[in-house]
């Protein structure tokens, strides 16, 4: 569940982040208020799910998957910047795709290489 993309009246591939963010905030305030009136306080709140989606950037993933016409623009403008600042025009795509595996993919890989080296040293010392 997520807020509608049309809050600004713009098409998916033309959404202005600043304008949408402002409308999103307004929408969520009203939604949360209405949700409190309808649902018991300790029930699962849709607004918290939508907030997490917005905070983590999952909102843009879901929107991209729902809109084939906006997929490319949403990927390069909203999703890719969460993972890397590499200019895709200057570096071959295959060298940068690992950045989309997880947040801080470079740090993840460094940790894995370090762990592997420590494992190999321990194995040699036992051997």
Question: In terms of C-beta density within 10 A (0-12 exposed, 13-18 middle, 19 or more buried), how is residue 69 classed?
Answer: exposed
Judge if 65 and 110 occupy the same domain: no
Instruction: Please give the Cα distance from 59 to 79 (Å, whole number).
Output: 10
- The pTM of the full predicted model, rounded to 2 decimals, is 0.59
CA distances from 20 to 23, 27, 62, 89 (A): 5, 10, 16, 28
For 30-73, how does the pLDDT look when each residue is reduced to its tens digit (9 = 90+)? 999 999 999 887 888 899 999 999 998 888 888 888 887 777 77
Q: Which domain holds residue 51?
A: 1-83
Judge if 46 and 104 occupy the same domain: no
Is 80 within 8 Å of 100 (Cβ atoms)? yes
Domain end point (choices 48, 65, 83): 83
Q: Into how many domains does the chain fold? A: 2
Judge if 52 and 3 occupy the same domain: yes
Judge if 19 and 73 occupy the same domain: yes
Judge if 8 and 43 occupy the same domain: yes
For 73-122, how does the pLDDT look when each residue is reduced to its tens digit (9 = 90+)? 787 777 878 877 766 666 666 566 777 778 888 899 999 999 999 999 99
């Amino acid at each position: 569940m997520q807020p509608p993309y049309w809050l600004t009246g713009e098409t998916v591939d033309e959404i202005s982040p600043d304008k949408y963010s402002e409308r999103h905030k307004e929408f969520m305030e009203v939604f949360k208020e209405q949700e409190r009136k309808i649902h018991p306080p300790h029930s699962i709140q849709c607004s918290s799910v939508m907030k997490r989606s917005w905070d983590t950037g999952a909102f843009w993933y879901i929107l991209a998957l729902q809109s084939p016409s906006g997929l490319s623009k949403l990927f390069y403008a909203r999703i890719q910047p969460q993972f890397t600042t590499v200019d895709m025009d200057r570096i071959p795509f295959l060298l940068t795709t690992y950045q989309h595996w997880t947040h801080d993919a470079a740090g993840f890989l460094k940790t894995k290489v370090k762990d592997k080296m420590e494992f190999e040293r321990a194995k040699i010392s036992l051997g």
